[in-house]
A and B are shown apart, each in its own frame.
Chain A
């Protein structure tokens, strides 16, 4: 499998000189199988650039399988600008999770961002043959590639994807925060030792189990592409419950799950290229201390290509 990063930013596109090296586009990763299967992970603004590239590669486009981790803007906003949507005969299959209780289909959610108030072309007018399928946790095959989905921890329903082909494997976590005991932070002396400890006490096990399950999901992968929006300084003090991880957790996961290589992505929009460099050197230093080969960890960057 070959991966190429077309968007590595979280939250919102951030163009400009300060982000020119790593890139300002929001999340989009292209993955090609050995037989040419084309899988795209997330449709952030990087998808626009990938779309332009795809139409220049050949006259006929392959079937495009787009997997959305979740439907927050930074993971779908590139879709209306994806050139293959406008080419008759192009087959696009979009899969991703839905949030609870909205009674909407995945197509409805994609329709919404293309309503006339927001965009001049409606989803109905797109020339491509586009199919939608809402996913929960499942396993399916795209050619020789097996895709397994598992829920991540994010404010809106979010899926991570594990892709395997001929014994090689990649996990893209989507947006993910470590599961934690969110009752800890408002623990106060009044309630210490009171009856409600009995009611909340079993949380530790739930958190533990959920985090273990995440480790199982990424276990022994050849490449882990992981949400690492924050620094240990920012998380958990300032950004807890925002649905993202910090790089110290990622290092821990890499070690525990015996991950071979890791790409840190979903850079914070406030992060300049220099700030990403700074994080990179800290990560490498900490990796060394943990006995992880620093060469095996990369910061995601637009244009970065990796063969797995």
Chain B
């Protein structure tokens, strides 16, 4: 069954044009960072494919948090002084935060809480992908699927934060799905506009699909990834790991876990692991704010 979506209004499309794209190298850095034999040269070359990201990482390395005695001018210098692991983590965190961080001051969603929700979903999806023995090449796509599943909300907030506030309040007050409320106020849903962004950024069609349909029961050629995102999304809401603005917890965890062949143990472990991931994220956010990196 195909889902019939209304057309995305022109005002939304215009804002989508201006949204900065997710770093095209995020998946690649994530992937090479899992490999034991990555050389420093490989790492630096991959990060440098994204000049904006490179600039941000260098700015962060020079922040007072790292307390380096000399000013760093290149990623290679940063690797010499801080080690590969630190630079790799810094690049991943920077790329990740840039993609879903809300800068709008009037945002109805607390930027840090929303970022925590996205990151928890990303880390959770990756964890479950490994548990399900998904091919290593695809695991990072699970991470990105989790990270970006709600990216459409960022776009709504950029379009009209006060109207999005109303949409959220109304869905909470009436106990209706946020997507319905979005339809009423914006004429389209965050799943739809998230998919629009994913297409615009030329992400894999699998990701476009997952973002577009993460509130609907699976019926596509990519059920595994979609079900994983749905499952993790709901668990994050249930465990209050960050805030998505959506009060509805879809009661289908058991069904989804069953379809994915995941036992309760895997889910419990995932939920236990996520807070430490989020701690790291919070530390990173402090550094970003201190360094004034956008």
- Where the two chains meet, the residues of A that have a C-beta atom closer than 8 Å to any C-beta of B are 100-104, 136-137, 151, 155, 179-183, 185-187, 191, 196, 199-200, 202-203, 206-207, 209-210, 213
Contacts and interface: CB of A to CB of B under 8 A. Distances in A.
10 contacts: A101-B89, A101-B90, A101-B283, A179-B80, A183-B76, A185-B39, A186-B39, A200-B44, A206-B77, A206-B80
A179 B69 CA distance: 14
A213 B84 CA distance: 21
Interface string B63-81: 0011101101110110111
Given A210-B80, A210-B81, A200 B70 contact: no
Nearest to B287: A101
Given A100-B66, A200-B41, A200-B44, A182 B283 contact: no
Contacts of B70: 206, 209-210, 213
Closest 8 CB pairs of A and B: A103-B283, A186-B39, A103-B279, A136-B67, A206-B77, A200-B76, A186-B41, A182-B40
Nearest to A188: B41
Contact of B282 (A103, A199, A207): A103
A102 B41 contact: no
A247 B265 CA distance: 50
Contact of B77 (A100, A101, A102, A203): A203
B93 to A, nearest CB: 7
A192 to B, nearest CB: 12
A239 to B, nearest CB: 15
Interface string B10-25: 0000000000000000
A231 B79 CA distance: 25
Interface of B: 39-42, 44-45, 48, 65-67, 69-70, 72-74, 76-77, 79-86, 89-90, 93, 279-280, 282-284, 287
A162 to B, nearest CB: 15
Q: Which of B41, B79, B284 has the most CB of A within 10 A?
A: B41
Contacts of B279: 102-104
Contacts of B67: 136-137, 151
B40 A137 contact: no
Given A186-B39, A202-B74, A210-B70, A101 B284 contact: yes
Given A101-B280, A103-B282, 17 more contacts: A100-B89, A101-B89, A101-B287, A103-B280, A136-B67, A137-B67, A137-B69, A182-B84, A183-B40, A183-B44, A183-B76, A199-B48, A200-B41, A203-B77, A203-B80, A206-B80, A206-B81
Contacts of B80: 179-182, 203, 206-207, 210
Nearest to B72: A206
Contacts of B65: 100
B41 A183 contact: yes
Contact of A202 (B73, B83, B84): B73
Contact of A101 (B39, B45, B72, B93): B93
